[in-house]
A and B are shown apart, each in its own frame.
Chain A
Amino acid sequence: MASLDRVKVLVLGDSGVGKSSLVHLLCQNQVLGNPSWTVGCSVDVRVHDYREGTPEEKTYYIELWDVGGSVGSASSVKSTRAVFYNSVNGIILVHDLTNKKSSQNLYPWSLEALSKDSSPTGIIVSNGDYDREQFAENSVPLLIIGTKFDQIPENKRNDVLTRTAFISEDFNAEEINLDCTNPRYLAAGSSNAVKLSRFFDKVIEKRYFTRDPSQMQSFTDRRRFNFKSLHND
């Protein structure tokens, strides 16, 4: 068992959307039987073949950090959570397709994780007018996953899918809609599995094969550790 290189991916979203079930499904290929509250952060590991099927195939560990809590938590909880956001290489944003509020809350979640100006308790929110350019120049790959797809009645599916398409455009990210209690959605060869694989490949590329490794530094340094955050303008 040679030790492999690793990348760190955050899994963020409101409570109750199904992050723990999703992480369990991604890492153990099994449905989580008894979901319970995530206190703090729970980590799981997925072994991923980068560029599967090509001569450059290489295996990596993908650490999925599932951070519990809600956007409206107390500032003490937010400051503590910020500890987990160090040196993040990718973010999976999870929302519940049957709950519109969880989709709206993805914006504050992403800002909380990406905010370079290290004030962990104050999130700069410009009242719904989220700047697409802010997400376009963001170099951390994002993936939007919508859960509880099976609970949407047939006639409402189109509306929901249009709505989620808007969200993923805002984030400049791919989107996957699934049901965490059914492994069929991520079966090998399905378009969802392909998107997932592409996302992980992108994360690995950004981390290991990008030409400017110092660009990653700005997300790894935190003010409380007395490093100045580096800006690359």
Chain B
Amino acid sequence: MSFFVDSVIMVTSQVLFFGFGWLFFMRQLFKDYEVRQYVVQVVFSITFAFSCTMFELIIFEILGVLSSTSRYFHWKLNLYVILLVLIFVVPFYIGYFVVSNIRLLHRQRLLFSCVVWFTFMYFFWKLGDPFPILSPKHGILSIEQLISRVGVIGVTLMALLSGFGAVNCPYTYMSYFLRNVTDSDILALERRLLQTMDMIVSKKKRIAMTRRQMYQRGEEQNKQTGFWGMIKSVTSSPSGSESILNEPVHLRQQVLNLSLIQQEVDALEELSRQLFLETVDLQATKERIEYSKTFQGKYFNFLGYFFSIYCVWKIFMATINIVFDRVGKTDPVTRGIEITVNYLGIQFDVKFWSQHISFILVGIIIVTSIRGLLITLTKFFYAISSSKSSNVIVLVLAQIMGMYFVSSVLLMRMSMPLEYRTIVTEVLGELQFNFYHRWFDVIFLVSALSSILFLYLAHKQAPEKHMSL
């Protein structure tokens, strides 16, 4: 009876998560596009729903809601479904939509998407070889094999994002790094841009007028009406260019001039694109400067200093962990309680508080990571999607989201007290959890250091670009 009630609760919450994912997709991601393939929306919402259910089960574990057998059952069920989605469904649809976009392969879409899927599976399997993630007693199609690989990919992603985020956050918040941009800089750049556009326009006018004159002089013999047709007939085999050779010399000269002008136009267009992007950059910097003068801006500036200290601390800890091969045994909650009890001498009911504090801590971690990920995904999606590739990109994002959430569960195990870790260990099998933490530290360090290098180079290069104006 209680199992039935528990299942009803679980299913209701899953439906709620599904609805939230659906709304997010419609309102945020696909704001400017029309959803033509509902499959994409359904797959995205399913991935989101089952990932959130995993987090929900951890919370239930801590709070002791629902009976432990039903919790265990739902864990297993959820895990199977999410692995199914992440390894079979999403990659297959990614392959399918990529293949649909390519015109040549359009007719045998299904065949080619199966081929793509098998390639994906091959590389996915090969991924497990260099890593010491499994003990040999596991079978070939066991859940541990799949989870371990998904975990590796997800942990790499998490570490990359954290590393970059840890460095980028103080860089964007603090106004110390803002380049000084004045209105006259922007005006000067805009004037250059408009001048370049005017030059392009005047050259294009010459080309258009010349083509029109050549057309009016009865070039109907030439089937191709574009002026490239003229060029082709001039440069092709002698028999084809007789009609041009019969024309007066000044006309041939005009055709050659046109190709020169076209090259100049191409170069100018490239210049105009660069100037446009630089102007956008300067405008964005100017807006940030204005923002930093407001109250909110000052608050974020202060936060930026705080986060930079936190970032340095994390990098330091990651280095220590790697160098001294340290493995954390206790979680922050228990350690915090130990410190307060032993050093500060405050006595309180350890069991009661540890449960509530873990709940709050884990809850905060979950909410911030979901929110952070969704915001990053949205920004990324707006930046790179187009009407053709929007389906593929959303599915790739769904894949990333699923893997990210699965590995968060893996890593979160470290933040929970011992009594709550058991369910995760039981369900996920005998994975080498310590390996994942070490791997996270390594990738975090690499990502943070390369972000620092990258931001330093970008920062150095920018003022030099403008000094040459």
- Kindly specify which of A44-52, A186-194, A213-221 makes contact with the partner chain: A44-52
Bound form: Cα–Cα A46–B206 in Å: 11
Give the CA-CA distance A61 to B207 in the complex, in Å.
12
A79 to B287, CA, bound (A): 11
A162 contacts across to B, CB distance below 8 A = none
A99 in contact with B208 (CB, 8 Å): no
Asked if B387 is at the interface of the complex by the 8 Å CB criterion, the answer is yes
- Do residues A79 and B206 form an inter-chain contact, with CB atoms below 8 A? no
C-alpha gap A6/B284 in the complex (Å) = 34
Kindly state the separation between the CA atoms of A76 and B279 in the bound complex, as whole angstroms. Answer: 9
Name the residue on B nearest A121 (C-beta). B287
* 23 A–B contacts, CB within 8 A, in A order: A1-B213, A4-B209, A14-B32, A16-B388, A29-B225, A30-B226, A39-B273, A40-B193, A40-B275, A40-B276, A41-B276, A45-B208, A47-B208, A47-B209, A72-B382, A77-B280, A77-B283, A79-B283, A83-B279, A99-B34, A100-B34, A224-B183, A224-B187
A37 to B208, CA, bound (A): 23
- Neighbour of B210 across the interface among A1, A28, A76, CB < 8 A: A1
Interface of A is mostly: mixed
CB of B201 closer than 8 Å to a CB of A: yes
How many chain A residues touch B (CB < 8 A): the figure is 41
Q: Which residues of B contact A39 (CB under 8 A)?
A: 273, 276-277
**Closest CB in chain A relative to B125 CB, distance in Å:** 37
B386 pairs with A83, CB closer than 8 A: no
Interface residues of A (CB under 8 A from B): 1, 4, 6, 14-16, 27-30, 37, 39-47, 61, 63, 70-72, 74-77, 79-80, 83-84, 86, 96, 98-101, 105, 224
| Residue of B with least CB distance to A44 | B204
B76 within 8 A of A: no
B contact residues around A41 at 8 Å (CB) = 197, 272, 276
Q: A85 to nearest B CB, angstroms?
A: 11
Contact yes or no, B283 A80, CB < 8 A = yes
Q: Cβ of B31 < 8 Å from any Cβ of A? A: yes
What CA separation (Å) do A218 and B59 show in the bound complex? 62
Task: Please give me the 8 A-B residue pairs with the lowest Cβ-Cβ distance, nearest first.
Answer: A40-B276, A16-B387, A76-B283, A76-B284, A45-B204, A39-B273, A80-B279, A45-B208
Across the two chains, which residue of chain B brings its CB closest to A15?
Answer: B386
Distance of A98 Cα from B34 Cα, bound (Å): 9
Interface set, chain B 347-392, CB cutoff 8 A to A: 382, 386-388
A14 to B390, CA, bound (A): 14
* Contact, CB under 8 Å: A61 / B208: yes
In the bound complex, residues from chain B placing their C-beta under 8 Å from that of A14 are 32
Contacting pair A99 B201 (CB below 8 A) = no
Contact partner of B287 among A63, A75, A98, CB < 8 A? A75
Interfacial chain A residues near B200, Cβ < 8 Å: 43
**Cα–Cα, bound, A30→B183 (Å):** 42
Q: Which residues of chain B have C-beta atoms less than 8 A from A28's C-beta?
A: 226
Q: Kindly list chain A residues whose C-beta atoms are within 8 Å of the C-beta of B286.
A: 76
Give the chain A neighbours of B105 by CB distance below 8 A. none
Residues of A contacting B213 in the complex (Cβ-Cβ under 8 angstroms): 1
Given known A-B contacts A41-B197, A101-B32, A80 and B205 have beta carbons under 8 A apart? no
Considering residues A40, A41, A75, A224, which has the most beta carbons from chain B within 10 angstroms of its beta carbon?
Answer: A40
In the bound complex, how far is the Cα of B33 from the Cα of A71, in angstroms?
12
Taken together as a complex, chains A and B put the C-alpha atoms of A213 and B256 apart, in Å, by 41
Question: What's the least CB distance linking A17 to chain B, in Å?
Answer: 8
Indicate if the CB atoms of A45 and B205 lie closer than 8 Å: yes
Q: Are A80 and B276 within 8 A (Cβ)?
A: yes
With a cutoff of 8 Å between Cβ atoms, the chain A residues found around residue B197 in the complex are: 41, 43, 84
Given contacts A40-B275, A101-B32, 19 further A-B contacts (CB under 8 A): A1-B209, A4-B205, A6-B205, A16-B388, A30-B225, A30-B226, A39-B273, A40-B276, A40-B277, A43-B201, A43-B204, A45-B201, A45-B207, A47-B208, A72-B31, A72-B382, A76-B280, A77-B280, A101-B33
